[in-house]
Homo-oligomer: A and B are copies of this chain.
Amino acid sequence: MSIVPTILCGGAGSRLWPLSREMHPKPFIRLADGQSLLQKAFLRGAMLPDVKEILTVTNRELLFKTEDDFREVNGNKIGTSYILEPFGRNTAAAIAAAALHIAKAHGEDAIMLVLAADHLITDQQAFADAVKQALALAKQGKLVTFGIHPAAPETGYGYIEAEGNHVVRFVEKPSLEKAQDYLASGRFLWNSGMFCFEAGIMLQALEQHCPEILAATAACIEASRLAEGKGFSQLDLDPDGFRNVPDNSIDYAVMEKSDRVAVIPCDIGWSDIGSWSALGELTNCDDQGNRIIGEALLHDVSDCYIRSDQRLVGAVGVDNLIIVDTPDALLVADKSRSQDVKQLYATLKAQGHEAHRLHLTVHRPWGTYTVLEENVQYKIKRIVVKPGASLSLQMHHHRSEHWIVVSGMAKVVNGDRELYVNTNESTYIPAGHKHRLENPGILDLVMIEVQSGQYLGEDDIVRFQDNYGRAG
Task: Check if A208 is an interface residue, CB within 8 A of chain B.
Answer: no
Q: Per-residue 0/1 for A314-354: is the Cβ within 8 Å of any B Cβ (1 yes, 0 no)?
A: 11111001010101111111101110110110011000010
Q: Which residues of B contact A347 (CB under 8 A)?
A: 297, 299
Q: Which residues of B contact A260 (CB under 8 A)?
A: none
A426, B424: Cβ atoms under 8 Å?
no
Distance between A32 CB and nearest chain B CB, rounded to angstroms: 21
Size of the chain A interface, CB-CB below 8 angstroms: 57
B452, A450: Cβ atoms under 8 Å?
no
B315, A331: Cβ atoms under 8 Å?
yes
The residue on B at minimum CB distance from A17 is: B314
A340, B316: Cβ atoms under 8 Å?
yes
Copies of the protein in its oligomer: 2
A404, B406: Cβ atoms under 8 Å?
no
Selected from B18, B310, B402, B404, the residue in CB contact (under 8 A) with A314 is B18
Q: Which residues of B contact A400 (CB under 8 A)?
A: 424
Selected from B18, B332, B355, the residue in CB contact (under 8 A) with A323 is B332
Task: Check if A423 is an interface residue, CB within 8 A of chain B.
Answer: yes
A452, B406: Cβ atoms under 8 Å?
yes
Chain A contact residues: helix, strand, loop or mixed: strand
A314, B340: Cβ atoms under 8 Å?
no
Task: Check if A378 is an interface residue, CB within 8 A of chain B.
Answer: yes
What is the CA–CA distance of A217 and B315 in the complex, to the nearest angstrom? 41
Task: Check if A227 is an interface residue, CB within 8 A of chain B.
Answer: no
B330, A317: Cβ atoms under 8 Å?
no
Selected from B311, B331, B334, B404, the residue in CB contact (under 8 A) with A450 is B404
Q: Which residues of B contact A331 (CB under 8 A)?
A: 314-316
A406, B450: Cβ atoms under 8 Å?
yes
Task: Check if A126 is an interface residue, CB within 8 A of chain B.
Answer: no
Q: Per-residue 0/1 for A8-26: is the Cβ within 8 Å of any B Cβ (1 yes, 0 no)?
A: 0000000001100000000
Residues A402 and B426 in contact in the complex (CB < 8 Å), given A316-B334, A330-B308, A355-B312: yes
Q: Which residues of B contact A363 (CB under 8 A)?
A: none
A337, B311: Cβ atoms under 8 Å?
no
Give chain A interface residues in 353-390, CB to chain B under 8 Å. Answer: 353, 355, 372-373, 377-378, 380, 382
Binding site for B on A (CB under 8 A): 17-18, 297, 299-300, 308, 310-318, 321, 323, 325, 327-334, 336-338, 340-341, 343-344, 347-348, 353, 355, 372-373, 377-378, 380, 382, 400, 402, 404, 406-407, 423-424, 426, 428, 446, 448, 450, 452-453
Ranked nearest first, the 6 interchain pairs of A and B with the lowest CB-CB distance are A317-B337, A316-B333, A317-B334, A378-B406, A424-B452, A312-B329
